[in-house]
Amino acid sequence: MLIESGSPVAADNRIGISLTINGQQRELQVAPWTTLLDLLRERLDLTGTKKGCDHGQCGACTVLVNGTRVNSCLTLAVMKDGAEITTVEGLAGLANDGAGSNGLHPIQAAFIEHDAFQCGYCTPGQLCSSVGLMNEGHAKSRDEIREAMSGNICRCGAYTNIVDAIEDVMQGEAR
Amino acid sequence: MTQTFSSTGSDRFVGSARSRVDGPAKVTGLARYAGEFTGPDLLHGTVVSGTIARGRITGIDTEAAEAVPGVIKVLTHENRPRTAWLDYNYQDAVAPPGSPFRALYDDKIHYSGQPVALVVAEDFETARHAAALVRVSYAAETPATDLTAVGDLAYDPPKKRSGIKPPPKPWGDADAVFDTSAVKLRETYRIATEHHNPMEPHASTVIVEGEGRYTVYDKVQGVSNSHAYLASVFGLDKDKVRVMNPYLGGGFGSGLRPQYQLFLAMLAARDLDRSVRVVLTRDQMWSFTHRPETLQTVSLGADADGTLQALRHDALAPTSRFEDYQEVVVNWSAVLYRCDNVALTYKLAQLDVFTPGDMRAPGAVTGVFAIETAMDELAHATGLDPIELRLKNYSERDATAEDKPFGSKALKSCFTQGAERFGWSRRNPEPRSMREGRELVGWGMATGVWESMMQQTSAHAILTADGKLEVGNSTGDIGTGTYTILTQIAADSLGLTMEAVTTKLGDTDLPEAPVAGGSWTAASSGTAVMKACRDVGEQLFKLARQMDDSPLANVDFERVAFAEGRIAVADDPARGVALVDVMRAAGVEKLEATASAAPDKDFNATYEAYTHSAIFAEVKVDEELGQVRVTRIVSAIAAGKVLNPKTARSQILGGVVMGIGSALEEESMMDTRLGRFMNHNLSEYHVPVNADIHDIEVIFVDEEDKANPLGVKGLGEIGIVGTAAAIANAVHHATGKRIRDLPITIDKILA
C-alpha cells in the first residue's frame, strides 16, 4: 500500500521507505520531517500510540523498533527504512506462545489484572516500554524496574501497579 | 445498614475487586481519545500563542503563513466570525463569577500564552510549520504576576462561586485569645502554582455533518458542559450538536470547563464549513487553568496540654483579571478541629494570568497542607504525639456549618489502623533520631479531608430481548473506573453477569449528567443507574405476573429477587422465570427506563458529609545531597462503602502519587518580569516518575453513611489531601528542618 505523507509542501520532497508495521510490510512515501509518531497516528490511523509531549519527555509515544523501545516522537520515519515496528496494536502478535485465549500479550493481561492504568493514555507506551525492558534483560529487581520504567510518565499514578504487572510477567517467563 | 443493589440481599459484583471493563480497549490501543477521531477532509488547526502577558496586539502578519501551500486560513481577532455578545453566553456550568475568556476576541492580551491566532491547514505538519511563520507585534505593558507584591490589593470576592462555601463568620475572639495562650504558633505557608498536565493534551475534533449538524469530540470531564457552551456561544440548536468523549486521557480538573481549543475548533469549522481538529501542544498546557499559588498564615493558640484555644487561618490566592476563581482553602481547619475562638479569611488578588481552576481536591490540598503542618508544629511544641494532639482537638460536629453533626466520620479508625500498619508506635519523636547509612529517616503523619457530594444526575437502563442490558449517561470516566462500577451496579441490580451489561458514557445523546469532578460521580451516577435498573425490574415483574401460569402470581414486588438472569420469589428461587422468557412471552423487544438521582435534602439539612483519611509517610533524606525519597506511605481512608476495592485502591494510589509530586516536585515557576511560566514542559516541570514511587499501602476502614442509598462517599480526591503535609512533617522529623513552602526541593533542604 502506498501512503502519502504530508501536504502539497511535502509533494516534491517525499522519500520512499519500507517498514514492517505489526507484521505487515508497508511501502510508504513520507516527507523527511515526518516523525514515526505522526506517520503512525496521522497517516496510518494507528492511534494507539499516543502523543503526550512531542519532545521525548513523557514516553507516551514509545514503540518497539526491531524489538528496542524508542520514543517515536523523536524518530523521523525516514531514519527507520527497513525496520520492524511494533505498536500497541501489534503487541499480542509478539507473545512467545502466541496471544492468550483472551487475544492479549501477557503484559497486556497483567496490566488489566493489576489495574496498572486508569485513564489509559500512557498505557500503550508503558506496555511497549515494558516489553522493551524485558527484551533488554537488565532489570531484575523492583528498584531496577522502577528505574528502567522512569521514561514513561503516568499522571494517574499507577506506578506501583505497573511494576507489579511487569514483575508478574517476568516471573511467569522465568518459570 | 446501607442496602444492597441486589434484591437477593447480597451483591455478587458490588464490593468485590473487579478488573476494569474498559481494560481490553485501553491495553490494545482501541480506546480513542478526542484528538483521534476523524472525518472526511479533516482540517488541522494549530494555535499561535501570545508572547507577552499584558498589553495589545498592534499587528498580525499572516502573509507568510498563508502563502504556505496547504494552509486554508489564519484566524485572528481581525477576521474571526462573530459569536455571542454577552458574557452570560460564555459561562459554562462550573464557571466562577466574571467574564469568561474569549479566544481571538479582540486585540487585548490578558496573560502570557494567550491564543492569538489559529492556523488551519490540510495537514498537521503544515499547520504547525505555518504557525511558526505568523508574526505578531505588541504594545506591551508591565504585567503583575507576583502574588507577594499585590497583597495590599486583596479583596473578598463580591460574588461567590456557586457550590463553594465562603469562610464562615468568626466566632469567639481568636486574636485576643491567641495573645494570651500558653503555646503560640504563627507561621506562613506557601503552595506553588501547579498545572494539571493530564497525559492527553487538550484536543477537540469538530466533524461537520451537513445541514447545520455537528459531531464534536472534546477532551472534557463532562460532555454536557461543552454541549451547552457550544450551543450558547455559537447560537446552535442543541439538537443539532452531539458532543462525545468516550475516553479521557486524564483530567484532574483541567477538563471541567470547556477550554479554548473547543471554541477555536468550532469557530474554524463553521467559518470554513469543514471538519477541524485542534490539539494543544504540551507547552500550551500551561496556557490555561492551574492550581493557584496560595499564601497562608495559620495561627494556633493552645493550652500547654495541646487543647486549641484560638485558631486563625488566613489565605491569599491569585485570580485572573476577568474571573474570581474561588475554592475552599481555610474552612478545613475548623472542620477538622474543635475550637471556641476561630477566624477564617480567604482573599483574592488579581494578576495578569489565566483564571485558576479546580485541580484534584481544589483548596483542600492547599489549606490542609497548612493546617496539618501547623498541627505537627504544635505537637512538637507541646511534646504531644501528633495523633494524640489531633484526638484531643477532634471535632464531632462541623463548626463551619451551623455545628451540624457529621453523617459519618470514621477518622479515629483511620488513625488506629493506619498507625498500626505503619508501625507508628515505634517512632521516636525526636527529630534526627533515625538514620540509615548516609540517609536520615523521618516519619510523619497528617489528616486528610474532602467533601462528600452528590449532584443532580440522570441515567438510563435498556434491557433487550437477548438479555443484554445497557446503562449510561453523559458523564465521563476520567480514569476513575466509572464504566466498571456502573456495570457492577447494573449487573447486581438486575441479577445479570457483568458481561451482559454494557455501560455507555460521554455522549450527549445519553441522559444528562454533570461533569465528572468533586468525587461525586460514583454516588450520583451510581444511584441514578440503580434506580433506572429498578424501574426496568418493576416493568419485568409486571410482565412476569401477566404470563400464563405465572410462577409469580400473587407475589408482591418486594418479595421477588433478580439473580442469574431470572426473576424469582426471594425465598423460593425455584419459583421464577428467566428475564428473556418474560420478554419473549410479552412480545417486547426492549424495556427501558430513565431515572434521576439528587442529593437527599433531609440528610443535608441534618448532617454534613466528608471523607477523611490519615496518611503516614516515611522519608529518607540524603544529608549531603539534600535529596528526599518517600520510601513508604500508608493511607487509611474513611469514605463509606467501597464499590470496587481494585479501582478504589487505584484512586487512592493516584492521589498519593500526585500528593508526592505536590510535596517534592511540582512547581510552575513564574518569571515575574515577563509574567510567563518558565518551565512549561515535562522535563522542567517535574511530576513523579516510576523511580520516585516506592511502597504505598491503602487501607479502607469500615464506615457506614446514609447520604445516598449506596452509602458511597467518593474517592477521587481524598487520596491527595494531606499527603504533602505528612511528607513535610516526615522531612522535619528526619532533618529537624521545617519547610513550609512547597515543593520541598533540594535547595530548601540544604539552605
Substitution target in A63, A89, A121 with the highest count of B β-carbons within 10 Å is A121
When CB atoms are compared, the residue of B29, B32, B479 closest to A118 is: B479
Residue A99 vs residue A49, higher pLDDT: A49
Q: In A, residues 118-137, which contact B (CB 8 Å cutoff)? A: 118-124, 127
Question: Average pLDDT for residues B730-750, to the nearest whole number?
Answer: 98
**What is the residue-averaged pLDDT of chain A?**
92
Interchain pair A8, B122: CB under 8 A: yes
DSSP three-state, residue A70 = strand
Substitution target in B16, B20, B26 with the highest count of A β-carbons within 10 Å is B26
When CB atoms are compared, the residue of B124, B199, B247 closest to A42 is: B124
The length of chain A in residues reads 175
Q: Chain A partners of B683 at a C-beta cutoff of 8 Å?
A: 55, 57
Return the ∠ at Cα B326 (arms to B514 and B513), rounded to 5°.
0
Cα Rg, chain A, nearest whole Å: 16
Element of type H or E holding A69:
strand A68-71
Q: Which residues contact B74 (CB under 8 A, 6 or more apart)?
A: B62, B65, B66, B117, B118, B119, B120, B130, B134
Q: Chain A partners of B692 at a C-beta cutoff of 8 Å?
A: 150
Element of type H or E holding B188:
strand B183-191
Q: Is B30 on the interface with A (CB under 8 A)?
A: yes
Looking at chain B, the whole-number percentage of residues with pLDDT higher than 70 is 100
Domain ranges of chain B: 23-31+456-598, 363-453+603-751
The length of chain B in residues reads 751
Interchain pair A115, B647: CB under 8 A: yes
Element of type H or E holding B616:
strand B610-622
Ranges A163-172, B191-200, B512-521: which has the least confidence: B512-521
Q: Is the pLDDT of residue B479 over 80?
A: yes
Ranges A157-166, B1-10, B112-121, B669-678: which has the least confidence: B1-10
| DSSP-derived secondary structure for B203-264 | EEEEEEEETTEEEEEE--SBHHHHHHHHHHHHT--GGGEEEE-S--S--TTTTSSPPHHHHH
Q: Is the pLDDT of residue A6 over 80?
A: no
Question: In this predicted structure, what is the pLDDT of residue B147?
Answer: 98
Residue of A nearest to B21 (CA): A112
Q: Is A54 on the interface with B (CB under 8 A)?
A: yes
Beta partners for B317? B348
In angstroms, the Cα distances linking B603 to B407, B410, B454 are 8, 18, 12
Sign of CA dihedral B8, B14, B18, B23: positive
DSSP three-state, residue B422 = helix
Ranges A25-29, A151-155, B8-12: which has the least confidence: B8-12
- Count CB-CB contacts under 10 A for residue B133: 18
- Count CB-CB contacts under 10 A for residue B134: 21
Interchain pair A123, B682: CB under 8 A: no
User: B181-199 as b/e, with b when 16 or more CB fall inside 10 Å?
Assistant: bebbbeeebbbbbbbbbbb
pLDDT in tens, A66-81: 999 999 999 999 999 9
Q: Chain B partners of A93 at a C-beta cutoff of 8 Å?
A: none
Question: Average pLDDT for residues B348-366, to the nearest whole number?
Answer: 98
Domains defined for chain A, CATH in brackets: 15-88 (3.10.20.30), 92-174 (1.10.150.120)
Element of type H or E holding B413:
helix B411-422
pLDDT in tens, B418-451: 999 999 999 999 999 999 999 999 999 999 999 9
Q: Is B629 on the interface with A (CB under 8 A)?
A: no
Q: Is the pLDDT of residue B630 over 90?
A: yes
Q: In B, residues 47-76, which contact A (CB 8 Å cutoff)? A: 68-70
Q: Measured between CA atoms, how close is A132 to chain B, in angstroms? A: 16
Beta partners for B464? B590
Beta partners for B699? B636
Question: In this predicted structure, what is the pLDDT of residue A11?
Answer: 64
**What is the residue-averaged pLDDT of chain B?**
97
pLDDT in tens, B667-688: 999 999 999 999 999 999 999 9
Question: Average pLDDT for residues B189-199, to the nearest whole number?
Answer: 98
Question: Average pLDDT for residues A26-52, to the nearest whole number?
Answer: 96
Beta partners for B576? B568
DSSP three-state, residue B55 = strand
Whether B23-31+456-598 shares its CATH topology with B363-453+603-751 is answered yes
Residue B7 vs residue B118, higher pLDDT: B118
Substitution target in B123, B635, B683, B684 with the highest count of A β-carbons within 10 Å is B123
Question: Average pLDDT for residues B48-61, to the nearest whole number?
Answer: 98
Return the ∠ at Cα B328 (arms to B325 and B329), rounded to 5°.
105
| DSSP-derived secondary structure for B448-502 | EEEE-----EEEEEEEETTS-EEEE-SB---SS-HHHHHHHHHHHHHT--GGGEE
Q: Does domain B23-31+456-598 have CATH number 3.40.1280.10?
A: no
* pLDDT confidence band for A13 (50 / 70 / 90): confident
- Count CB-CB contacts under 10 A for residue A58: 30
Interchain pair A118, B480: CB under 8 A: yes
* pLDDT confidence band for B284 (50 / 70 / 90): very high
Question: Average pLDDT for residues B129-144, to the nearest whole number?
Answer: 98
C-alpha cell at A39: 506517520
Q: Is A94 on the interface with B (CB under 8 A)?
A: no
* Residue B187 annotated to the active site: no
Question: In this predicted structure, what is the pLDDT of residue B43?
Answer: 98
Question: Average pLDDT for residues B607-629, to the nearest whole number?
Answer: 97
Question: In this predicted structure, what is the pLDDT of residue A1?
Answer: 39
d(CA B650, CA A157): 8
d(CA A12, CA A15): 9
Which CATH code fits B363-453+603-751? 3.30.365.10
Chain Cα centroid distance, residue A29: 22
Q: How many contacts does A have with B, using Cβ atoms within 8 A?
A: 192
d(CA B79, CA B218): 25
Chain Cα centroid distance, residue B334: 23
Question: In this predicted structure, what is the pLDDT of residue B515?
Answer: 87
Interchain pair B655, A51: CB under 8 A: no
d(CA B226, CA B228): 6
Q: Is the pTM of this model over 0.90?
A: yes
Q: Chain A partners of B656 at a C-beta cutoff of 8 Å?
A: 157
Q: Chain B partners of A51 at a C-beta cutoff of 8 Å?
A: 201, 279
pLDDT in tens, B237-253: 999 999 999 999 999 99
Q: Is the pLDDT of residue A2 over 60?
A: no
Q: Chain B partners of A33 at a C-beta cutoff of 8 Å?
A: 125
Q: Chain A partners of B36 at a C-beta cutoff of 8 Å?
A: 41, 47
Q: Measured between CA atoms, how close is B261 to chain A, in angstroms? A: 16
Strands B572-578 and B566-569, bridge-based pairing: antiparallel
